[in-house]
Amino acid sequence: MDHGGGGGSARTGQLFRDARAARTIGLVAVVVAALLGSAYALGRSLVPDPPASRSSVTTSATGPHYADQPPVDDAPRRTPQGTPDTSPAEAGQDGGTGPDAPPPSGPTDGPFGTQTTSGTALVALTFDDGPDPQYTPQVLALLREHQVRATFCVVGENAQRHPDLIRAIAADGHTLCNHSWNHDVTLGRRSPAAIRTDLLRTSDVIRAAVPDAPIAYYRQPGGAWTGQLVSVAQELGMTPLHWTVDPSDWAAPGAGRIAATVVAGVVPGSVVLLHDAGGDRQGTVDALHRILPELTSRFEVEALPDGVT
């Protein structure tokens, strides 16, 4: 009798059952993994990503470095006249500018009604993020050499560190502008009370260095304006100040590009955005060697009025 046949059938049946069980376990594992993946994806979709900060403030031996800067708009940039903005190369040698060029439109045509021009034929140079012990004295010396007064938008924490530079700015007759306490690009998202506290703290530090100093303007870091930010600045007696010409000197493109963009882009009434702090600003300082003689030969370059005659 063949007893081995029965045993073989039993073993075959057991192997079949084992294989089927293994397949079942595998399918269950796949289903569980899929469910866990779906649950994780659903949970991530319900948790908002942390807001990206454009201020990126770091500290160094010389003070904070600010990686602002003006929000990038995917739409073509437009001039105050409403025409597409062009690069210096596209604009030609003089960019279609000069003392006879038409001035920009009204001074309060910027974001949320901010001021973008001087309101007259005067051209205004503005310097943000200072004061800085390395670059601000160089800027002041060049402005003095060319007999030009400018507007300095100062950061509160820097004014607190360098009150001597605030005094130097005021002593040369430049206009002072509040630029928030610590270059908070997201300040406009905070409550009106928090905004007011920030701006008052900054103005107090400026006036600690220069008592009774007129602070007629406020400029929001990165140009990240909101309606409540504009309202609070106005309530505190400061004009919200934007700009007309931005050579992106904060990105350190080199003195040549900075100077070319400014010289080609300025028209009567322009407010030029430059930086004397917040990073490596030697390119801006070097660009002023061309910017100042070029602009003063074609325009009247002056500080924005501070309300004091």
Q: Which domain holds residue 119?
A: 88-298
Residue 36 has pLDDT above 70, yes or no: no
pLDDT at 264: 97
In a domain, 186, yes or no: yes
- In this structure, the dihedral spanned by the alpha carbons of residues 150, 201, 235 and 275, taken in order and rounded to 10 degrees, is 30
Please indicate, yes or no, if residue 46 is contained in any of the structural domains.
no
The dihedral through the CA atoms of 36, 40, 45, 47 has a sign that is: positive
Q: Domains in the chain: how many in total?
A: 1
Please give the pLDDT value at position 17.
64
Asked, for residue 12, whether it belongs to a domain, the answer is no
d(C-alpha 52, C-alpha 124), whole Å: 32
Q: Is the residue at 261 inside a domain? A: yes
- Mean pLDDT throughout 178-186? 97
> Is 23 part of a structural domain of the chain?
no
Among this protein's residues, is 275 annotated catalytic? yes
For residue 88, what pLDDT is reported?
Answer: 32
Cite the beta strand spans of 88-168 per DSSP E. 124-128, 151-154
* Domain membership flag for residue 129: yes
Integer Cα distance of 245 and 264 in angstroms: 10
Q: Quick check: 87 and 202 in contact, CB under 8 A?
A: no
Q: What pLDDT, on a 0 to 100 scale, did the predictor assign at position 35?
A: 54
From the candidates 68, 128, 184, 306, which is the catalytic residue?
A: 128
37 in any annotated domain: no
For the chain, give the mean pLDDT.
Answer: 79
* Predicted model pTM: 0.71
Q: Which of 21-30, 127-136, 156-165 has the lowest mean pLDDT?
A: 21-30
| Domain contains 110 | yes
CATH code for the domain in which residue 156 is found:
3.20.20.370
Does the annotation mark 74 as catalytic? no
Q: Which of 162, 174, 179, 275 is catalytic?
A: 275
What average pLDDT does this structure show over 168-177? 98
